[in-house]
Structure 1
Amino acid sequence: MAKYSDEFKVMIVREYLAGRLGYNSLANKHGMKSTGQLRAWVSAYQKYGVEGIMRKKNHEVYSVQFKLDVLSFMKRTGASRSETALHFGLTNPPLISSWKKKFLEGGAEALDNLKGRPAMSDKAKNVQKNKKPTQQDEMTREQELEQENELLRLEVEYLKKLRAFQMDPDGYLEKHKQRYHSNSKKNSD
């Protein structure tokens, strides 16, 4: 998928909103292969303004619970990726597909894996080079069980929230709606 500049996105959305050309004509005029991306930009622009279509400078980190709530909403309502992204203020709908794939392959714990490796400080690099492997480096059986318990707690919590959502979707969404908007604003700062 081609990456377009923020200026291009704003220009083409405003051109569409001016009403002179439709989705197909604009896509052809600017050499876009399909209208799907353009439609998503227009929807995001209409709901969130220019910020809705701007590329984020810092990659946002979403909590496992937020990801589970997004996936649950999508499954329960039958909303498309784009509709779900728009509902939760996400500017990258394919991210939802990535979360769904991870969840189906590895459950809730797979959603907690961060992409890439954390950066190491110079001191940590030096310590690691000089350090000999010891028995403490390996996870003890007790630590493994504690980790498994934590994952099971997360899963139980997710299932409770899913049940609450299934019983009263509108009430659940209304109750948690404010949290999603405040989380997305905090992450984009």
Structure 2
Amino acid sequence: MAKYSEPFKLKVVKEYLDGPLGSRLLARKYGIKSHKQLLNWVQVYKELGAASLARTKKKEAYTVQFKLDVLSFMKRTGASLTETALEFGLTNPPMISSWKKRLLEGGAEALSRPRGRPSMKNKTKNEKAKHPQKKNEMTREQKLERENELLRLEVEYLKKLQAFQMDPDGYLEKHKQHYHSNSKKSSD
């Protein structure tokens, strides 16, 4: 969603109120994605003044009870999103529809869910809490890797055993030299 500065919003709203162009033409002229966004700015400006067009750095956290009151008012009166937002001093009407959706999908508990993306630190903790693994339990992938390693070791052992059975003296002589050369390297 595009973010627009307060001076930009104010300029477009005043041009809409003073000029001959409608919301669709002004939205197209200034590259605003939807003319409804412009109409929302106009209504907010008329009801709450120019300060209401400002983007606040810190967003206000609304209580579950407040959200339920807003949704109840909208249902009781049949007011639109914009009318409801203006009644409660909210500058972002689509926020109300997201509350309504969350309420329908998950009940009142869903409205208490914190906004925004959780930090990465908490994500790993949450995943561990959701899927606690015992020390002895391994994932399917870990089990397959372990099995693969054991099979490799078995094949290597069988090859060495076969080589030893075919020529025991030659095998021992070859590996004696190998062990002696390794021990010399480590003593240097």
TM bucket (normalised to shorter chain) is 0.5 to 0.7
The TM-score normalised by the length of structure 2 is 0.58
What residue is the counterpart of 1:169 in the other structure? none
SS in 2 for 1:28: helix
- The one-letter code sitting in structure 1 at the alignment partner of 2:57 is K
1:26 and 1:39 map into 2 onto residues whose CA distance is: 10
1:118 and 1:33 map into 2 onto residues whose CA distance is: 29
What residue is the counterpart of 2:78 in the other structure? 78
Inter-CA distance 22–112: structure 2 relative to 1 (3 Å threshold): same
- The one-letter code sitting in structure 2 at the alignment partner of 1:38 is L
SS in 1 for 2:40: helix
Inter-CA distance 15–109: structure 2 relative to 1 (3 Å threshold): same
The total of aligned residue pairs comes to 122
What residue is the counterpart of 2:37 in the other structure? 37
The TM-score normalised by the length of structure 1 is 0.58
What residue is the counterpart of 1:2 in the other structure? 2
Larger Rg: 2
Gaps of 5+ in 2: 130-188
SS in 1 for 2:49: helix
Shift, 1:34, TM fit: 2.7
What residue is the counterpart of 2:91 in the other structure? 91
Shift, 1:118, TM fit: 8.1
2:115 and 2:46 map into 1 onto residues whose CA distance is: 31
Identity %: 62
1:31 and 1:116 map into 2 onto residues whose CA distance is: 27
Deviations 1:25-71 (Å, cap 9, x if unpaired)? 21222123431000000000001111221112111011111100000
- The one-letter code sitting in structure 1 at the alignment partner of 2:10 is V
- The one-letter code sitting in structure 2 at the alignment partner of 1:36 is K
- The one-letter code sitting in structure 2 at the alignment partner of 1:92 is N
1:90 and 1:78 map into 2 onto residues whose CA distance is: 17
Give the structure, 1 or 2, with the largest relative contact order (CA under 8 Å, sep 6 or more). Answer: 1
What residue is the counterpart of 2:171 in the other structure? none
2:94 and 2:116 map into 1 onto residues whose CA distance is: 18
Gaps of 5+ in 1: 120-124, 134-189
* Superposition pairs of residues 169-184 of structure 1, within 5 angstroms: none
Q: Which runs of 4+ in 1 moved over 4 A?
A: 116-119
What residue is the counterpart of 2:13 in the other structure? 13
RMSD: 2.3
